[in-house]
Amino acid sequence: MPKIVLFIFTLFPFLFAYSQQDSQYTQYMYNTLQINPAYAGSRDIMSVFLLHRNQWLGLNGAPVTSNFSIHTPLGVSNFGGGLSFTRDEIGPTVTNLISANLAYFVPLTDTYKLAIGLNASASIFNLDVGKLMLYHQEDPEFQNIKTKFSPNLGVGLYLFSENTYAGISVPNFWESYRYDDNSVSIFKQKMHFYFLAGKVFRLHENLDFKPAVLTKIVEGAPLQVDLTANFLIQDKLTLGVAYRWEAAFSGLVGFQISKSWFIGYGYDSETTQLRNYNSGSHEIFLRYEFNTTSRITSPRFF
Residue 62 falls inside a structural domain: yes
Residue 181 falls inside a structural domain: no
Answer for the pair 204, 233: CB distance below 8 angstroms, yes or no.
no
Tens of pLDDT, residues 154-190: 999 999 999 999 999 999 887 766 555 544 445 566 7
List the domain range (segments joined by +) for residue 121.
28-175+187-289
Residue 287 CB-half CA count within 13 A: 27
Per-residue pLDDT at 21: 60
* Residue 180, C-beta contacts closer than 8 angstroms, at least 6 positions apart: 186
Residue 4 falls inside a structural domain: no
Per-residue pLDDT at 184: 47
Tens of pLDDT, residues 234-269: 999 999 999 999 899 999 999 999 999 999 999 999
Residue 293 to residue 242: CA distance in whole angstroms: 33
Nearest alpha-carbon partner for 109 in 43, 57, 160: 160
Q: Which pairing describes strands 113-127 and 93-107: parallel, antiparallel, or unpaired?
A: antiparallel
Domain count for the chain, please give it. 1
Hey, what long-range contacts does 203-206 have (CB within 8 A, 24 or more apart)? 206/233, 206/234, 206/235
Q: Which residues of the chain have pLDDT under 70?
A: 1-21, 129-146, 176-189, 291-301
Residue 107 falls inside a structural domain: yes
Residue 220 falls inside a structural domain: yes
Per-residue pLDDT at 42: 94
Per-residue pLDDT at 108: 96
Per-residue pLDDT at 249: 97
Residue 246 to residue 270: CA distance in whole angstroms: 9
Per-residue pLDDT at 293: 56
Residue 18 falls inside a structural domain: no
CATH number for position 205 = 2.40.160.40
Residue 295 falls inside a structural domain: no
Residue 68 falls inside a structural domain: yes
pTM equals: 0.85
Backbone angles phi, psi at 176, to 5 degrees: -115, 145
Answer for the pair 154, 121: CB distance below 8 angstroms, yes or no.
yes
Nearest alpha-carbon partner for 143 in 158, 157, 130, 162: 130
